[in-house]
Amino acid sequence: MRSRFQPDRRLTMRMGATLFLLGLLYVAFVAALIVLLKSWVLVVVIAAALLGAQYWFSDRIALFAMRGRVVEREEYPQLHGVIDRLCATADMPKPVVAVSDMEMPNAFATGRNADHAVVCVTTGLLRRLEPAELEGVLAHELSHVAHRDVAVITVASFLGVIAGLVVRFTFYSQMFGGARRDQNTAVMLMAVMAVSVAVYSISFVLIRALSRYRELAADRAGAMLTGRPSALASALTKLSGDIAKIPTRDLRTAQAFNAFYFTPALGATPGLQRLFSTHPSLEQRLEQLGRISSELGQSPTSGQAG
């Protein structure tokens, strides 16, 4: 699909390189599990089933996990109106529109392609943003769909998910069944855990490198589409500050989906979380939007919602 969103060749190259490296890692991971578990049928069937489920049903899984529901125009006319205008401007299919009844102000896009995409916003976001700010956030999310990076990050995150599941299964298997196993079985399970931890760590680094760049690319493309980078900057500043006020327990629940959010669910003092964040820092994002304002001949605060 071609749209009027500004293309980003560097993003395309990064997505290709990430998928290639993760593909090699995936093959090596499956091969290692087959050697260790001595059952290629079991490993291949389970891995293929999980990958297929994550790719084909990623939109439903994400909506269910985030308590989102599809909403019609009669219920949220302003939200539908903004998405209609942006899709017409970008010359792209309109995604399914959903709302999550959550206080945390955020938004995300998911789906395997533009024809099977969902854009979801939380009620906390809708209450906080002015119309121009909402337009900026939605343009950002639609650019993820147009650039296809939302599908790439969904597939890319699969390897980390399956490695994490193997680690948990092996850990609990050792904890609750260790006394009934011989030494060879225990060594094999420890080897499986070690391989899984290594795979998870490598995929963790690769996904974050891609995720941080794709957020900057979406900010840039969304700002160029609307022509109001200052409105997007205003939304970023407002939402980042408000998310920091959300109770820590609620943020921890949401952090598993940070790679998909408009802005990450980090607390007031993120510490090491910032180092391993799926997003660039707020300062980096605002600096880029300031440069775009200059390119468009605007002052950094022009067009900012009240």
- Active site positions, annotated: 141
Amino acid identity at 184: N
Query: Exposed (0-12), middle (13-18) or buried (19+): which is 43, by Cβ within 10 Å?
Result: buried
295 is in an annotated binding site: no
Is 279 annotated as ligand-binding? no
Neighbours of 41 (CB within 10 A): 8
Distances (CA, A) of 111 to 148, 152, 238: 9, 10, 27
Question: Is residue 258 within 8 Å of 264, Cβ to Cβ?
Answer: yes
The runs of H, that is alpha helices, within 178-228 are: 183-226
* Residue 80 marked ligand-binding: no
Alpha-carbon span 79 to 68, nearest angstrom: 15
SS3 state of residue 98 = strand
Query: Are 15 and 149 within 8 A, CB to CB?
Result: yes
Residues 6+ apart with CB under 8 A from 189: 170, 173, 174, 181
d(CA 63, CA 97): 11
The amino acid at residue 300 is P
- Strands in 117-122's sheet, in edge-to-edge order, are 68-70, 96-100, 117-122, 107-111
Which parts are annotated binding residues?
140, 144, 215
Which parts are annotated binding residues for Zn(2+)?
140, 144, 215
